[in-house]
Amino acid sequence: MNQLISVNNSIYIPEFDENNDCYIDKSPYKPYERNCIRYECRCKAGSSFVNNVMFKQHIKSKTHKDFIKNYPKYYKEVDESKEIINNLKAEIELLKRKNNKLLLEIKELKEENSFYDCE
């Protein structure tokens, strides 16, 4: 029997520690969480984890430690750019809606004004 299951993937992004001015690993999972999201890590092709235990094991690898150390150099700008782009897309959508609403108001006012011109 074939079944379709949904697989949620996400890219793992380390957190910035303001106190030490560096990036650190913080587990994206809550303790005892079920149906966890699969995270892919960019430290190595095909590297991923699906729970807290796998995450803790993964961050011990030398490849991952090098990735965290060099994260600002290779990935920080890309991740920040994606966030900025998403925020700007949301802002554009809100402005489009506001613009459409104002265009409708203008149209209604013109129709009202032309009604009074006929009298």
pLDDT digits (tens, 9 = 90+) for 45-54: 889 999 999 9
How do strand 22-24 and strand 15-17 relate by DSSP bridges?
antiparallel
Give residues with Cβ within 8 angstroms of 93, minimum separation 6: none
Q: Could you tell me the residue range of the domain that residue 92 belongs to? A: 76-119
Task: Answer yes or no: is 2 within a domain.
Answer: no
| Structure confidence at residue 113 (pLDDT) | 81
| Structure confidence at residue 75 (pLDDT) | 82
Residues 15 and 52 in one domain: yes
Q: H helices within the chain, ranges in order? A: 52-58, 62-74, 76-118
Residues 64 and 101 in one domain: no
Task: Answer yes or no: is 36 within a domain.
Answer: yes
Residue 23 DSSP label = E
| Structure confidence at residue 76 (pLDDT) | 82
| Structure confidence at residue 82 (pLDDT) | 86
| Structure confidence at residue 3 (pLDDT) | 60
Residues 16 and 68 in one domain: yes
Residues 70 and 83 in one domain: no
pTM over 0.75? The answer is no
Residues 16 and 63 in one domain: yes
| Structure confidence at residue 61 (pLDDT) | 93
Residues in the chain where the model's pLDDT stays below 50: none
Contact (CB, 8 A) for 79 and 13: yes
| Structure confidence at residue 115 (pLDDT) | 66
Residues 22 and 70 in one domain: yes
| Structure confidence at residue 31 (pLDDT) | 83
